[in-house]
Amino acid sequence: MAKTKRIGILTSGGDSPGLNAAIRGVGKAALGFYRMEIIGFRDGFRGLAENRRIRLEKNTLAGILTVGGTILGTSRDKPHRMIIDGHPRDMTDVIARNYQKLGLDALVCLGGGGTQKNALRLAQRGLRVLTLPKTIDNDVVMTDSTFGFDTALGIATEAIDRLHSTAHSHHRIVVAEIMGHRSGWLALGAGIAGGADVILIPEIPYDVGKIAQAIQKRSRQGTNFSIVAVAEGAMSKEDARAFLSAEQKKEKARTQVARHAAQLELGALEAKHTGNTLRLAKQLEQLTQLESRVTILGYVQRGGTPSAADRLLATRLGTACADLIQKGVCGVMVAARGEGAEPVPLEKVAGKRKTVALDHPWVESARRVGTCLGD
């Protein structure tokens, strides 16, 4: 008789709607359809390092499809640099030992860009790893989309809808900061869907003077309010130049000292970026003489029940993942492709980020409807 397969599953990185739907998808297909055993690790890679786990059974997976967050808990811990008793430690060997001791046939890691890199490291250490792409940022390469994005898009769009009436009533500029890390998918998507007048994304560095001109033009035409949807990673042309130069220095650095110096420069620029949205709103107020207000949407975008599209995507990818494990496939991310799913080697995904191309149809559409993109 064939040995029962035993698989592990964990969620890592920032939480996102659809994680539980994906756990359920993998779990139900693995348990019910393929008769595998499934172990959930708590709080991402830390749970695997510390051997904190629960056996996932039919009843653990029941009723979680519509629930936000992750029943397993999550963390941003990296296997090769985990803080243990206040000090960074490489826990890769410990993780590999725990994986072996538990007799796992595969480990499923649900996460975004960072998780793909960490999963690849474990795959290179000999673990049979598969990943699923989740993040509200939609910035994972080689997949049509990531689960979590659709829900966050809906929340951010609704927020912009609501900001319209108050901005209109008070004749104000309302600047809405939207998540997305260093990609503009969420701000661009919600900005278009919500009809923002200005959309600022990291991929298109802005000139504050041009934004002010667009707002003033609206005022001259009799519309004395404006909605500015700004991605948290958006920056002015000058700041973008400084970032690029520090990043290039880091890439070119030949010595440890040069790398460290470039890293410090990047850190200082990142620290300076904090509060950028508030500064932008102040600048626009000064330049246009229109009162301005800021709304930071923040974690509201990641919380709560997943949309139908995210439940569907997470279930589709989760069940496809169980199929691949059954076939003995590993070292891949289960990507969304058209109506189906497709395994993509982790090497092609790890360390890369999907950004908005300057000629992407969304960018073109935004320009066509007269949205100012700050350039």
Positions marked catalytic: 137
Note whether 310 and 148 are within 8 A (CB): yes
- Which CB, 14 or 44, lies closer to ligand F6P? 14
Q: Quick check: 134 binds ligand F6P (CB under 6 A)? A: no
Give the amino acid at 169. Answer: S
Among 179, 201, 246, 330, binds ligand F6P (CB under 6 A): 179
Strand partners, 77: none
Give residue for tokens 């359920």: 24
Site string for ligand F6P, 15-54 (x = CB under 6 A): ----------------------------------------
Q: Quick check: 14 binds ligand F6P (CB under 6 A)? A: yes
- Which CB, 98 or 295, lies closer to ligand F6P? 295
Considering only residues 74-93, where is the footprint of ligand F6P by CB under 6 A? 76
Stretch that binds ligand F6P, among 174-182, 255-263, 285-293, 319-327 (CB under 6 A): 174-182
- Smallest gap from Cβ 202 to ligand F6P, in A, equals 11
Stretch that binds ligand F6P, among 99-107, 124-132, 176-184, 360-368 (CB under 6 A): 176-184
Strand partners, 191: none
Note whether 24 and 321 are within 8 A (CB): no
**Rounded distance, CA 280 to CA 369, Å?**
23
Q: Quick check: 137 binds ligand F6P (CB under 6 A)? A: yes
> Which residue has its beta carbon closest to ligand F6P?
179
Considering only residues 195-254, where is the footprint of ligand F6P by CB under 6 A? 232
Among 40, 112, 154, 343, binds ligand F6P (CB under 6 A): 112
Binding residue count for ligand F6P, defined by CB under 6 A = 11
- Smallest gap from Cβ 10 to ligand F6P, in A, equals 17
Q: Quick check: 180 binds ligand F6P (CB under 6 A)? A: yes
Residue by residue, DSSP assigns 77-110 as: -BTTBEEETTEEE--HHHHHHHHHHTT-SEEEEE
- Smallest gap from Cβ 7 to ligand F6P, in A, equals 25
**Rounded distance, CA 202 to CA 204, Å?**
5
Residue by residue, DSSP assigns 98-162 as: HHHHTT-SEEEEEESHHHHHHHHHHHHTT--EEEEEB-TT---TTSS--BTHHHHHHHHHHHHHH
- The alpha carbon torsion through 21, 22, 24, 27 (nearest 10 deg) reads 180
Considering only residues 254-293, where is the footprint of ligand F6P by CB under 6 A? none
Stretch that binds ligand F6P, among 93-101, 133-141, 196-204, 269-277 (CB under 6 A): 133-141
Stretch that binds ligand F6P, among 60-68, 175-183, 269-277, 357-365 (CB under 6 A): 175-183
The residue among 153, 154, 96 whose CA lies nearest residue 121 is 96
| Residues 236, 359, 373: CA angle, nearest 5 degrees | 35
Q: Quick check: 136 binds ligand F6P (CB under 6 A)? A: yes
